[in-house]
Structures are given as C-alpha cells and as structure tokens.
Structure 1
Amino acid sequence: MGITGRLFGKGEPEDRAGPGTDTAVSRQAVSLAQQGRFCEAIACFDRVLERDPENVKMWNNKGVFFDLLGRDEEALACWEKALSIDPDFAPAWVSRGMLHRRRNRLDEALVCYDRALALNPNSAVAWYNRSGIFTAMRRLDDAVACYERVLAIDPHFVAAWIDLGYARFLQHRHEEAITCYDRAIADDPENVRVWSLRGGALYALGEYRQALACFDRVLSLDPRYAAGWSMKCSVLYHLGMYRHALACADKALEINPSCELTVEVRKLLLSLIEKW
C-alpha cells in the first residue's frame, strides 16, 4: 500500500480542499516525501498540530511518515497520542499493525487489526491488511475469507482482487486465480503486477501462448521489468523457441545480472541451441 493509501484526511471534494484543509496538507506532505524531503513533510503536520493539537488524522499521518523513515518509537508515540485523544480512532490501530507487519511481528500486527475491526467492522483497509497477515502465516483459508470480506465492502479494491488471486494460486486453484486477476485488470488495466501474476497462473496451467501474451503486456508496460523477461524466457523455452528465449534471458540479465536462476536457464538454452 502506497503512502496515500495510509493517510487520512484526504476525502474532501476538490472544491473544499483549500490550503488549510487536512487534504491539502496531506497532499503537500506526500509531494515532499516523493522528493525525499521527509523532514519538510513532517513539518506540514506539525504546523497543523500547533493550531489543532487534537487533530487525530494529522497525528496518524505524522506517525505514518515516521514509520516510513524507520523511526518506530516516534511513529508509535504519534499513534498513541491519536488514541489518547480518540480511543475509537481505528486508523491508528491499522497504522500500528502495518508497522508490526513490516517488522515481521505477525501476532502483534494481527492484534492491531482486530482492534481496528472491533471499532470499525466495515474497514476494507483493516480487513485487507489482516488478510496479508494470514497469507504470511500460510493460513490461506483465513486469508481468503478476509479478502472476500474486503471485496464485499469494496468490489473495486484492486489490491484485494490481486492478492485473493495469489492466495488461490498458492492453493493450486489456478482458474479461480485468473478470474480474480481479470477483475483487477478491469479496474486497473496497466497494473504490471497483475498481468505478471496472470501470466504465471496460465504458465502453471500449461497455457503457454496465453501466458506469453500476458508477459508481452507486462513488458510493454515496463520494459525494464527483469522478472517479466525471465518469465517470457521460460514460456518461449516450453514452446521450443530457444533462440528467442535466449534473447529474453540476455535482456533479463542485462537488467538484473545477479539472478542465478536465469543464468542457469541461459546455460541450458545455449546447450540446446548448440545441439541443433
């Protein structure tokens, strides 16, 4: 989830998002962060909090930026402050959970998401993050149940469709995975990850021509995506197109020379071509 997906106070209509609104401040902070100017971004929230010290949204957002900087204690202090002002402010529990998840403290993260959902059972973001914990724990049935809850709340939650598809893929239910990926593509047709995963599911089914079309789409969207070149190489290998596969392996290694698997596949392709 990107920075904007973690911020709150960005819901006002455009004509209400004036210079002093939470939305405007959050947008300015995101813009500064994208330039690597995190200290200035945090200062945006501090200016709001000087005049409105009980603004829980800004406390949450300030904590998010400390989290992005790896300053865990300061991030947690911001979220504690938000909850001391408004104990029912579920987004602070979501933010805490995301910090714990990145530190691989899965049980602590799950507790945070459960607290968020006790406060707001219809939080698609909380259900989505909860599902990610279960996926990491390989509790795939629990993860699927959470993703389905997300999509019942928000049928256009693209990341949930993608991750539900991946959970189905891990369960070897490849056709269902493809159906999920197609739903995600309907809303986000230029999403490189979903096209790559769709290609992977088709590859697993032995549908190499269709998989090839997916990886071609991936590379049209991002020609520097090394994994896309590697997967296209594998598809072409299975289609017996060894020289074309070799060219893809070379391209993948040009972008990512450290991929040992692609190095080994390249050696195999060279030996096959020499035998011809």
Structure 2
Amino acid sequence: MYDDFDDYGEFFDEDLRANLLERAQEALDRGESDEALEYVEEYLEENPLDVEGLNLCAVAAANLGDDPKALALYDKALKLDPRNGALHHNYGVLLEKIGELDRAVLHYRRSLVLQPDFPEAYINLGNVLDEQGRSDEALAMYDQALRKMPDAPDAYYNKGFALNRLGRFEEALESFAKALQIEPQDAASHNGQGFALSGLGRDEEALVSYAQAISRDSQVATYPYNRALSLTRLARREEALADLDTALSLSPEFYEAMIEKAGVQGDLERFDAAMATLDQARVLQPTSPEADFYQGVLYERQGRLEDALTALNRSLDLDPGAIFALNNKGNVLIDLGRFDEALACFDAIIARTDSYPLAHYNRACLFALQKKVRPAVQALAEAGKADPRFFEDAA
C-alpha cells in the first residue's frame, strides 16, 4: 500500500514539474517574463539538464535584460543538445540584440540546416544580413520565408525595407503593398511605402503614407522625420520644421533630425536658431564633422567668410578627407582671394576621387579669375569627362 502511495507521489511530482514549464511558457506568452523566470528556475532546481527548461529560462532572462545569464544558459543547452534548431535560433536572436552579428548569422544558418521549414529564422537571418549591408543576400532570405509562409507580413515588410535600402523603390512599393493587404493597420509598412514613394520623387503621395503611419503610431520619431524630409523637398518648410520638432520631442537625441532642423532653419534664414541647433548637435555627437560643416555653410551664406573657414577647418579636423567640406573650403578661400590654398583643396578632392566633377569646375573658375585661359578650358574638359551630364544638370 505504501509502495503504491510512493508511486503516486512520483507521478504527482512529474506532473508538477511539467506544470511549472507550462506555466513558464504561458507567462512568457503574456509578456510576464519575471513570473516565467520564477517558474522555470524552480523547475531547473530539480532538472538542471533539461534543455527545454534551459531554453525558456534563457528567453525570460534575455527579456529581462540579463543578457550574460541568457548567454550562459544557451551555451549550456547547446552543449547538451547541439542539434536543436530552436535553440540555435533563439541564441541568434540574443546575439543579434547585443550586436554580435557575425555569430548571430552562424546560429541562424545552423538553425535552418536543422529546421529548414522555419520561416522566422529566414526573416531574422535576412534582418541581420541587411543590417550588415548585405541586402541582396537578405532579399534571398525573405523570399525563402515567403515560400514557406506566403502570408507573412513581416517578410514582405522587411523585404520592402531592404529594397528601399538598395534604391529599388518600385519593387519596394510592391512589397509594402502586399504587407498592407495582409495587415492594413501596420504603421511601419505605411512608413516604408512613404519612403519608397519619396525615393521615386512622389513626395505628395509619400505625405499620405506618412500620415497613415503617424495616425497609427504617433510615438515613433522616424515617421514625422521622414515626412519632414518630403515636406522640405516640397518647400513646405514651416510644416517640415513642426514635424522635426515632433520627432525631437519623441527622441531628443535624434541627431539626424537635429541636423535637418538646422538646415530648414537656415533655409528660412533663421541663422541664429540654426546655429543654436547645430551647437546642440555638436554636444550630442562631438566627434561628428557634420555640425561644424553646416555651420560653415551658414556662415558662408551670411558672408562671414573667416567664421566659415574656421568652422570648415574644425569639420576637416574630424574628417580630413571629407569632399564636401574640402570643396566648400576651396570656395571660401576663393572668395577670400587665397587662390593657392583654394587650388590645394580642389586638387585634394581630385586625388581622392575621379567622380566629383564640381572640383574640376571650381578649378576652372579659379583659373578664369586668374585669367589663365588654357588651364581653365582644360579643367572644364575634365569636369565633362568626369560626368558627361554635368553641364546639362548644372543648366
């Protein structure tokens, strides 16, 4: 009789342990990772080598920001079960999160060898490849995911995002349209659609897409920022400025929005405000040359040539090979009558690239000012050689 009772107790314990794992999974599904962690750690006290428990514990720890603990748990689990595709995938997700992209790629690929019918792994691998600048490879992964799961809006969205990155805007529009057919309320897809439309020069249509994105999620700073870019191209600068202020209120350290705001303020000839914005940008990213470069541009527009030269030199100290800064510095030096120094700037550009015809053109202008006809003509010819459409576009 007592033996029967002991057997019943063993079954009860097994059922309780299984129930702990179920509760942990349910808590994760509800987004309650702290509760999940409590359940699964209790389970692992009695089952320290259980791979499913280690996996759930790692997921919960990662969700709670304890990445070192999650990494150690995945390492342990993979030593116990190296052919577990789900483990490799989840490990890849964590490695991607902490920026170890090469290792993430390896584990995603291993996951797909072990579980080739796992669409999410194709999507995540594509995302990492795209982040690494390998967008063509990423597209192949998204297409694989769509073969496995043709109605996956995430795959269409990410494919569209990669196509936008590659400048293949017509194809991107097709992908975002398919994503929105499946999930019409997805703000990110509306934003991606707007970006593709603006890339095609269809900024009025882009504004409609950006408005759809913002109406669905008003807390993402990128959406008003992108709309501001289209509004600026349409010369609707006051509206652009309002959107940039919105973007910065949502994300006060949004450096690109700060630089763009200064540009719009400069276009509106609010030079003091633009300078103040660029000062803020410099504090935010002191090693970036952009704030000093744009201050140089603004000083030049105001005729403050010495100040412009000082700002451009600061920019070049941070990025000595910056072509635009060298070109602007050369133009300022021409206006200051310092022709030899100006020529050195344009020559430095030509030494770095053969695809910047403006440097040849500016050399021609400089030689013309010095009444050096033959070198001026030769420099103009070089500008045309660097870009046969240069003079057509300039006109």
Contact (CA 8 Å) 2:247, 2:257: kept in 1 or not? yes
The runs of 5 or more residues in structure 1 that have no matched partner are 1-8
Q: 1:89 aligns with which of 87, 100, 118?
A: 118
Aligned residue for 2:29?
12
Alpha-carbon distance, 1:141 to partner: 0.6
Equivalent residue number for residue 264 of structure 1: 296
1:110 aligned partner: 139
Contact 2:173-2:193 within 8 A present in 1 as well: yes
Task: Tell whether the 8 Å contact from 2:194 to 2:210 is kept in structure 1 after alignment.
Answer: yes
Specify which of 158, 163, 180 is matched with residue 187 of structure 2: 158
Give the whole-Å Cα distance in 2 for the aligned partners of 1:145 and 1:123: 14
State whether residues 32 and 40 of structure 1, in contact with CA within 8 Å, keep that contact through their aligned partners in structure 2. Answer: no
The answer on whether the counterparts of 1:143 and 1:167 sit within 8 Å (CA) in structure 2 is yes
Letter in 1 for 2:144: R
The counterpart of 1:217, out of the listed 246, 264, 274, is 246
Q: Report the counterpart of residue 100 of structure 2 in structure 1.
A: 70
How big is the shift at 1:146? 0.6
Q: Distance in 1 between matches of 2:260 and 2:109?
A: 45
Partner SS state of residue 150, structure 2: coil
What is the deviation of 1:27? 4.0
User: Which is worse superposed, 221-230 or 129-138?
Assistant: 221-230
Q: Check whether the contact 2:207–2:230 (CA below 8 A) recurs between aligned residues.
A: yes
Higher RCO (CA-CA < 8 Å; seq separation 6+): 1
Q: State the shift of 1:116 in Å.
A: 0.9
Matched, 1:197 2:220: no
Matching residue's letter, 1:12: D
- State the secondary structure of the residue aligned to 1:32: coil
CA distance in 1, matches of 2:136, 2:69: 34
**Distance (Å, rounded) in 1 between the aligned partners of 2:132 and 2:182:** 28
Offset, 1:25: 4.4
How many residue pairs match? The answer is: 260
1:266 is matched by which residue type in structure 2?
L
TM-score by length of 1: 0.79
Relative to structure 1, is the Cα distance of residues 93 and 223 closer, same or farther in structure 2, using a 3 angstrom cutoff?
A: closer
- Computed over aligned residues only, the root mean square deviation of the Cα atoms, in angstroms, reads 3.2
Q: What CA distance in whole angstroms lies between the structure 1 residues aligned with 2:61 and 2:299? A: 50
Question: How far 1:18 sits from its partner (Å)?
Answer: 3.3
CA distance in 2 between counterparts of 1:186 and 1:10 reads: 31
What does residue 6 of structure 1 align with? none
Equivalents in 1 of 2:140, 2:262: separation in Å? 43
CA contact (8 A) 2:27 2:36 kept: no
Encode CA deviations 1:64-117: one digit per residue, 9 max, x unaligned: 233454363x53453344334433111122222223323333332222211111
Alpha-carbon distance, 1:54 to partner: 7.1
Aligned to 2:177: 148
Q: Percent identity?
A: 26
Q: Structure 1 252/166 Cα, relative in aligned 2: closer, same or farther at 3 Å?
A: same
What are the superposed Cα offsets for residues 108-167 of structure 1, whole Å, 9 maximum, x if unpaired? 222221111100111122112222232233221111101111122222333222222111
CA distance in 2, matches of 1:192, 1:29: 26
Distance 2:236 2:264 in 1: 9
Amino acid at match of 1:18: A
User: 1:171: how far off?
Assistant: 0.9
> Which consecutive residues of structure 2, in runs of 5 or more, have no partner in the other structure?
1-25, 41-52, 305-395
Deviates most, 242-251 or 122-131: 242-251
CA distance in 2, matches of 1:104, 1:228: 23
Q: TM-score, normalised by structure 2?
A: 0.57
Answer with 213-222 or 253-262: which moved more: 253-262
Q: Aligned runs of 1:29-40 on 2, under 5 Å?
A: 29-32=62-65, 37=67, 39-40=68-69
1: CA distance between counterparts of 2:257 and 2:32?
Answer: 42
User: Which has the higher Rg, Structure 1 or Structure 2?
Assistant: 2
Offset of residue 48 of structure 1? 6.0
